[in-house]
Structure 1
Amino acid sequence: MNVRDEVRGAYLALNGDKALLSIDDDEFGLGETISRLSDALAKMIRGDGYALGIEGPWGSGKSTFVNFIAEKLEKVSGQHVLRFEPWLIGDKGMLIAAFFSLLATEIDEIEQSSEFGSSFTPWQRLRAKKKLSGAIRKYGKYTAALAGSVDKAASLDPTGAVGLAATGFTSLGRLSGLFGNTEPLEKLKSEIVAGLKELQRTNPDIRFNVIIDDVDRLPPEEAVEILRMVQKVADFPCITYLICHDSNVLSEQVRRSLQLKDGRRYTEKIFQEVIHIPPQEPFALRRALKAKLKRAFPREFESIRGDRDAEYREHLLFDVWAGQFLTTPRDVSRLFDSVILNWPLLPPRSDFCDFLWLQLLKLKSHELYVWTREYLQNVGAYRDGGRAGDTQPGEMARSLAKLMGKYGWSSRAYITGINSFLPGVGSFALDDEKKRKVFDFSRDELSMFEASRRLGSPSHWRQYFSFEAPSYALKDGDIGAFLKACVEGATNAKAVLWGLLERPHEQPGHFVDLLLDRLLDLPAGSLSLTAADGMLAAFSLAMDDLARKSEGIEEFGRSELWRKGSLLLQRQRPSQFVDVVPKARAINWISHVIRDQGFAHGLPEGDRSYPDSQWLSRDDLDESIRQVTTRYESFGVKRIFNLPSPLDALHCWVQLGDEAIVRQHVAAAVEDDKGLLQALEAMRGWQNSSDTGVTHPLRDEVVGRFLDAKETFARLSALAREGRSRSIRRQAAELAAAWQREDKR
């Protein structure tokens, strides 16, 4: 059904459920509401310390709502928007001081010419501004002291008298013992009021709109302190407070902190008006989700068209299941992020509708998600000839009915179409409870799920649980650890590779192979240059040893680890390949990479080039060839014979280097009988046929690149008959039998 884009998800970003900032991004038609409310805030409110509640449950979009209001107000002359974020402060005693510091800073930044009256001289404007901001800072510092040692009674007392008494003072008039200051608190507040009224007189439109978000996420005592501040401590002219909260949560915070019977009655005295976030219609939420997914995954949706089964499941997913579970814009954002994070991890041809259904369960119905996972674990046993126990079908059917009952579906399971997503539950969808079953597979049902690689496939179900992989899968932390180590240095990255190599598994190298697969799933060029260079350096240290210890992981006789490592270089383009070649311990793998790049550039000369595969420049390739052939000459050809895949290195040397020099080195190495046998073992190739399986033949054209093939075969045949030892004769005979000669005369 699905066509997987090999780089799907590469252009997507995880945004979480962060609030939107601009009305241009509005997905739910809030524009008119925002315009009317912003206009009212700018033109109609004149009261001192006006407190407006923005109320809605968590996830309903309160933060986005006030962000849109702020965007509108900031475009209105005289309107100032201040964002007070108390949850960043983390200290009840500092909340009030932090607020007044924020207000004073805003006063400092007001343009003198536009906000202070034209009747003032520039010096008078500056002096008035400094006097006002200074008074605000002092007032905040003094009143903050009253928040330190307060109890229930002090919190209920908006004047602060009880709090002052708790610190050892009996009058609000002076705080000299605490600050060495003799200025009355009442006088400071009067100065602030007078300064703000002067601002208002010279500019009637001026207003400070203070947004206080997430009050209901604060500890109860801090939430109460914010309410006290808004009600009495900072009830100044020109200030409007927009306080975002969930009324149920905030009422409970007040009740617990102040030990009241009804916290709601207290909060009702704080807010002059409460604006409730417009509830989003389920249809609007489903439409928004579908639109976001279609923009992100157009090919997946296009592949659904024309497939009647997939189209029906798409209808069930969005119109039934999403209609039941999506209740807030946050649900839409979280589900969308879950999709773009998990979907690229799935193998090609995975089913998009099944995947979306499972992600919706994971987000909104954990119990159904867990039931589905357990059910599919049992379905998976059918692939190996297993069956559910005698009582399990009935027990799981009853538990599913109980879960579905929470959503009003226990007697109407058929409307959910659950049997379209899971095999063996068709009987469960019937009305008759006594006949409901699970693991009740219709004819060829499992085969159809298997053929389409569906969620309910016994062979493929586990891949849909991308972050809940089995013990033989690679965890995301392993990928993160390797990439972090690549940045830290080649030695650290090699240690991670070695740790994965030594992790127990029936196939040595399995986890390294999975790591390379996961890295290949990353978008091309997505690694930083530092990480890409670190990865190259780690490979240059470890790849030869990895190949030796992972002999079963190969294809067409070549190490799959080498092939994937080479492809990773092409995708991530490290910058230091030329610098690595002279010191690489994994010279066999380096030879493999250089030879592949030689083919990409059309070497040996006259061969067809492949520009799309070229990631080394021709100059860097030529320098790499010079360096690697110099290394071959320096340590001798016998060392090449002992490499894990010597023919790769020999071909690299003879095809990209000086063939005459290579033949001289090989001729010197085969002067004795053991040297000849060692050289011929190194020249053996790879072949697979239905008759003989995998074999490692010798071929005339290969041996002929390095030695005279006819003379060498004659010498080998003589050794097989007349060798000095039984082992030499046996090895020579085996090599002669494996030799596929073009001219057998």
Structure 2
Amino acid sequence: MASTQHNSVAGDRPLGAGGEDKLGFRDVARRIAQSLVDHASDKGLVIGIEGAWGSGKSSLLFLIEDELAKLPQAQRPSVINFRPWLVGNRDALLANLFESLAKEINLVALRAGDASGISKEKAKAAGEALRKFVSALGSAGSAVELAGDAIAFAPLKWIGKGLRVAGSWAKGKSADPPLDVLKDRLVKSLRDLGHRFIITIDDVDRLEPAEVIEVLRLARSVADLPNVIYLLCYDSDILAHSVEQASRVQDGRAYLEKIVQLAVMVPQPEPFRLRQWFGDELRQFSSTRSDDELSRLRSVVDFEGGRQLKTPRSVVRSLDSLRFYWPPIRDGGGDLADLVWLKLIKDGNPALYRWIEDYCATAALLNLGTVRVDDAERAQQLNALHAAVAPEHFADHHYRYFFAEPLPAASVDFAEKGNGFTLFQRVSDVERNAAITGGRLASPDHYRLYFALSGPSHALKHHDHDAFWAAADNSPDRVAAVLLHLHALELTGSLSKADLLLERLKGVGDETLTPNRCRNILAGFANVMDDAYRARPFDHGWIVSLWDRATALVARMVARLDADTRAGLIQHIFGEGRALGWLTTLMRKETFAHGRYGNREKPDSEWFFTNEELDEIFELMLGRIRRLTTDELHTAVCPLDILFAWKQAGDEAGPREMLRSSIETDSGLIDVLEKLTTIRTSSDRGSYSVLTRNNLEAFLDFDEARQRIEALRMGNNALGARATALACAFNEDDGF
């Protein structure tokens, strides 16, 4: 297990004590530190450390300070970390700076002696000169309080390049030396002290434009003292723009050149070094599950990492995002390579990330069959993709291929005049199930996990799959229970999670569909399908229903069984299966496929069962159907299908004989006809009931039944109302 340190989100923080220099800044920092004490001017100096945001300026500054701290005592300067954004207002800047400088001079005095090479007398003299100078400034300006080493400043007005104190010298103070004399004494005492003070100001470019100007004036004019060196960290483009805004000069860079006497550029990290850092850190808290996943991860780091990991900050931010997202993605069965690809894009190009999110959501619904994507929508999505990136972003064919690989239903268009990609293609069952099994971004069950740390509302959870396979290993009754539970979970329209599960089973490999599982699943179907219909009815006669999805799995699962197991299964499900309605539709399908009835015979390669097995199925099912009572027929799912199956299996007289006694009474006739109605749907009328000649005349006299119903509808009683509804159903018969 990875350590807590590697799992912790680092945040956008510079290198600190105990941190590892991953970019090789240490040597640069060492040279800069040595130059600050060996070669820098003793007349005061302003040095700029320049670099873009996230390039590592603060880390370089830390390393410089760390190297200075390692110098021998006699060479070691005093470092003052001045942070102007922590000061309440601009008038307090000067007071805060001199307070810090006074404290450092006092520390120099305490350390003075043979080891430091500094005279205590000179250190005390410098401290005294500083206090007198600041006191005079305060007296001239408005108010200054000296309390020990603490100095508080009142308002000063800054004019041009220097400082002019407000008001005139306070009356009665003429005996004090003039301010310029005190300044000269301070300059001389600091020069005599011979000790260097380095004032660091980080993130100058993050200040407001007006604050930037005040800090620059402070560095160049007010505190232009010997042996005082400023190290300013900033992005020169941003700082120049702030100067132009605040001072209304045309060239902010020219202004900076008057303030900053020496600029040091932060070294540009080599791209491969950033990727190596990223990979080394990633390895500490994550892992891949297969060689394929590892191979794809390498490609992602090379291709997408090469484009997105431009600065140390981009590396840190991407790693932090992955530390946060990886644990729930891993627990949800997700793919590390896909997650890294997505998060690199998110941090580097949020617009492209949003496009991917929208595309994956649409592709998932397309897979589910709840939306349709036409050519216009494809073109619109493709245009949106190109709008989210720079014009030449996808010019490289290799990169284009690796970009398309994690996306669902997408491929590369290599045509010279093509648009780069083909979107919303048809995905085979094998491809879809491979994505689901691998927890890939292209999986309709997992894609939302990568964006919202949760599966889409229509997705099957891993525990759903686990529960089903555990049931398949156990017994038919367990399979039935799991399917009923999933069928109760509605997705959209008539779909349930049970529908989704059965769709997913189409692409499952043979190694998963063991013979024992196949037997239990088929026996489970034979027990539960009618119960599923009763619990949450669906139109099993229209296009594809839960029954159809179960039926589509029969041939493959039966083929996985040996002869003895297959024979036992047929005996069990058709002789004892509780889902008589579903078993009837399965038998009728085979009846037509074998050409036993009608003229729809199919090649034997499309049969579920052999001719001999179908003979046995007829015998088992006819025995069960003949034993049904009229009440049992009425309560069955799809009584009309049962009657047709009875007739088509070779017993044409059986259904008529069963119904003859039932329809002798008026109430019995109405009961039977109500069970034999079918439902039609049209765009203008919706759903309505129909009694057709084609359905009824095989089992009773159609015209006689219709006349009796017409007569019964005249009665002013409950039967009359029911008969009226049936008369309307008769009138809907259009011969189809």
> Is the pair's TM-score, using the shorter chain for normalization, greater than 0.5?
yes
The reply on whether 1:48 has 2:7 as its aligned counterpart is no
The reply on whether 1:70 has 2:65 as its aligned counterpart is yes
Paired-residue identity, %: 29
The reply on whether 1:333 has 2:316 as its aligned counterpart is yes
Distance 2:320 2:328 in 1: 13
Distance 1:270 1:176 in 2: 36
Partner of residue 590, structure 1: none
Partner of residue 220, structure 1: 209
Distance 1:368 1:279 in 2: 26
User: 240-249 or 428-437: which moved more?
Assistant: 428-437
For residue 103 of structure 2, the aligned residue among 60, 83, 105 is: 105
Q: What is the correspondence of 1:99-498 to structure 2 with a 5 Å cutoff?
A: 99-112=97-110, 114=112, 128=125, 130-135=127-132, 137-138=134-135, 141=138, 148=155, 154-155=158-159, 157-161=160-164, 164=165, 167=166, 169=167, 174=169, 184-200=178-194, 206-297=195-286, 300-301=287-288, 303-304=289-290, 306-307=291-292, 310-346=293-329, 347-390=331-374, 391-406=376-391, 408-410=393-395, 412=397, 415-428=400-413, 431-433=416-418, 436-443=421-428, 444-466=430-452
Partner of residue 682, structure 1: none
Q: 1:39 to 1:9 in 2, by over 3 A?
A: closer
Deviation string, structure 1 residues 600-651 (Cα, Å, up to 9, x no partner): xxxxxxxxxxxxxxxxxxxxxxxxxxxxxxxxxxxxxxxxxxxxxxxxxxxx
Preserved CA contact (<8 Å) 2:446 2:456: no
Distance 1:238 1:435 in 2: 61
Distance 1:43 1:382 in 2: 70
Once the two structures are TM-superposed, the CA of residue 445 in structure 1 deviates from its matched residue by 2.4
Q: 1:113 to 1:334 in 2, by over 3 A?
A: closer
Distance 2:16 2:304 in 1: 30
Task: Work out which of the two has the higher radius of gyration on C-alpha atoms and give 1 or 2.
Answer: 2
Distance 2:3 2:368 in 1: 33
DSSP 3-state at the match of 1:433: coil
Distance 1:72 1:372 in 2: 46
Once the two structures are TM-superposed, the CA of residue 461 in structure 1 deviates from its matched residue by 0.7
Q: What is the correspondence of 1:531-680 to structure 2 with a 5 Å cutoff?
A: none
User: Which amino acid is 1:318 matched to?
Assistant: V
DSSP 3-state at the match of 1:458: coil
Deviation string, structure 1 residues 51-71 (Cα, Å, up to 9, x no partner): 111001111100100110000
Q: 1:183 to 1:344 in 2, by over 3 A?
A: farther
User: Which amino acid is 2:47 matched to?
Assistant: L
Q: 1:113 to 1:450 in 2, by over 3 A?
A: closer
Q: 1:399 to 1:412 in 2, by over 3 A?
A: farther
User: Which amino acid is 2:328 matched to?
Assistant: L
DSSP 3-state at the match of 1:222: helix
Distance 1:233 1:437 in 2: 65
Deviation string, structure 1 residues 71-102 (Cα, Å, up to 9, x no partner): 01112223111110111114112112111111
User: Which amino acid is 2:87 matched to?
Assistant: I
Partner of residue 653, structure 2: none
DSSP 3-state at the match of 1:274: strand
DSSP 3-state at the match of 2:96: helix
DSSP 3-state at the match of 1:455: coil
Preserved CA contact (<8 Å) 2:408 2:442: yes
Q: 1:104 to 1:81 in 2, by over 3 A?
A: same
DSSP 3-state at the match of 2:260: coil
Preserved CA contact (<8 Å) 1:103 1:136: no
Preserved CA contact (<8 Å) 1:411 1:431: no
Once the two structures are TM-superposed, the CA of residue 110 in structure 1 deviates from its matched residue by 1.9
DSSP 3-state at the match of 1:417: helix
Q: 1:395 to 1:140 in 2, by over 3 A?
A: farther
Once the two structures are TM-superposed, the CA of residue 277 in structure 1 deviates from its matched residue by 0.5
Deviation string, structure 1 residues 649-684 (Cα, Å, up to 9, x no partner): xxxxxxxxxxxxxxxxxxxxxxxxxxxxxxxxxxxx
Deviation string, structure 1 residues 21-74 (Cα, Å, up to 9, x no partner): 258611111222222221111111133221111001111100100110000111
Distance 1:369 1:118 in 2: 58
Once the two structures are TM-superposed, the CA of residue 129 in structure 1 deviates from its matched residue by 5.8
Gapped regions of structure 1 (runs ≥ 5):
201-205, 474-504, 508-689, 694-745
- TM-score normalised by length of structure 1: 0.55
DSSP 3-state at the match of 1:27: coil
User: Which amino acid is 1:382 matched to?
Assistant: L
Q: 1:389 to 1:118 in 2, by over 3 A?
A: closer
Once the two structures are TM-superposed, the CA of residue 384 in structure 1 deviates from its matched residue by 2.9
Once the two structures are TM-superposed, the CA of residue 355 in structure 1 deviates from its matched residue by 0.7
Deviation string, structure 1 residues 258-313 (Cα, Å, up to 9, x no partner): 1111111111011221000111121111111111111232xx14x34x32xx2342
Distance 1:456 1:396 in 2: 17
Relative contact order (C-alpha < 8 Å, sep 6+): which is higher? 1
User: Which amino acid is 2:444 matched to?
Assistant: P
Distance 1:127 1:279 in 2: 44
Gapped regions of structure 2 (runs ≥ 5):
143-152, 460-487, 491-575, 580-736
User: Which amino acid is 1:399 matched to?
Assistant: A
Partner of residue 84, structure 2: 86
Q: 1:33 to 1:130 in 2, by over 3 A?
A: closer
Distance 1:140 1:241 in 2: 22
User: Which amino acid is 2:387 matched to?
Assistant: K
Distance 2:305 2:345 in 1: 10
Task: Name the Cα RMSD after superposition.
Answer: 3.6
Preserved CA contact (<8 Å) 1:412 1:431: no
Distance 1:317 1:136 in 2: 62
Q: 1:352 to 1:127 in 2, by over 3 A?
A: closer
Distance 2:58 2:420 in 1: 49
User: Which amino acid is 2:42 matched to?
Assistant: G
Once the two structures are TM-superposed, the CA of residue 349 in structure 1 deviates from its matched residue by 2.1
DSSP 3-state at the match of 1:324: helix
Once the two structures are TM-superposed, the CA of residue 460 in structure 1 deviates from its matched residue by 0.7
Partner of residue 607, structure 2: none
DSSP 3-state at the match of 1:25: coil
Distance 2:175 2:338 in 1: 70
Q: 1:469 to 1:143 in 2, by over 3 A?
A: farther
Q: 1:191 to 1:436 in 2, by over 3 A?
A: same
Distance 2:17 2:437 in 1: 46
User: Which amino acid is 1:288 matched to?
Assistant: W
Preserved CA contact (<8 Å) 1:212 1:242: yes
Once the two structures are TM-superposed, the CA of residue 378 in structure 1 deviates from its matched residue by 0.8
